[in-house]
A and B are shown apart, each in its own frame.
Chain A
């Protein structure tokens, strides 16, 4: 059975304090690894899709990387507006089958 595990469950950072979120996955035949951001009371908002080991993608202060077993979401010099829950998901078989992790709740303190 496909599994996606995220760590830590919660992370509290000072503004400007860089860190990384981890997503470990066990899926048969990875077709894509997704990162989403979810704000309270809202739906997940798409951030990145990674397809193969070694791939990296960046957007503003966020950078996602992928290896054969895990993905990292690096946050450089975070701001309070980066506070949210970050979800990782893996697609296997067909993209219709996507398994989500339980998320990392990030709080950035001014």
Chain B
């Protein structure tokens, strides 16, 4: 069973388009996260949700909008994609104040 899953695994799109990445966890965790990993492999937190409530928003452009329909899902919608948005996006989940478990990542390429 996959603990944290993301779709799609690869996403190639043109500048200016709008796209979404979906994340689901079956670990029963209360907290979910989105991270961005750049070409130098640096992982930076973007958002954190606890029980569907936004906890962390780390100065991410408002073109990025997370949505948590329920505790097990945290989706990321990106408007007006830019070249600099190209990266690998990871979803993670945890219980509050516990170890985070990561999904397999979504490689976004903006042309």
- The verdict on B66 contacting chain A, using a C-beta distance below 8 Å, is no
A103 and B45 in contact, given A34-B99, A95-B94 (Cβ under 8 angstroms): no
Within 8 A of A (CB), among B66-111: 90, 92, 94, 96-105
Chain B interface extent, by class: 20 to 34
| Interface of chain A, main secondary structure | strand
- The answer to whether A85 touches B100, judged by C-beta atoms less than 8 angstroms apart, is no
Report how far A49 CA is from B4 CA in the complex, Å: 19
Tally of A interface residues using CB under 8 Å? 25
Q: Which residues of B contact A100 (CB under 8 A)?
A: 42-44
Q: Which of A43, A46, A99 contacts B99 (CB 8 A)?
A: A46
- Interface core residue of A44, A85, A100, A103 (most chain B CB under 10 Å): A44
Closest to B105 in A: A43
Given the complex, which residues of A lie within 8 Å of B90, measured CB to CB? 43-44
Q: Which residues of B contact A74 (CB under 8 A)?
A: none
The answer on a CB contact under 8 Å between B97 and A95 is: yes
Interface centre among A43, A85, A102 (most CB of B within 10 A): A43
Q: Are B42 and A102 in contact (CB under 8 A)?
A: yes
List A43-69 residues whose CB lies under 8 Å from chain B: 43-46, 49
Interface hub of B40, B48, B99 (most chain A Cβ within 10 A) = B99
Q: What is the CB-to-nearest-CB distance from B86 to chain A, in angstroms, rounded to a whole number?
A: 16
Question: Known interface pairs A95-B94, A96-B48, A96-B55. Does A46 touch B101 (Cβ–Cβ under 8 Å)?
Answer: yes
Distance in angstroms between the alpha carbons of A87 and B102 in the assembled complex: 13
Q: Tell me the B residues contacting A by CB distance below 8 Å.
A: 4, 31, 33, 40-45, 48, 50, 55-56, 90, 92, 94, 96-105
Partner-B contacts on A (CB < 8 A): 31-32, 34, 36, 38, 41-46, 49, 85, 87, 89, 91, 94-100, 102-103
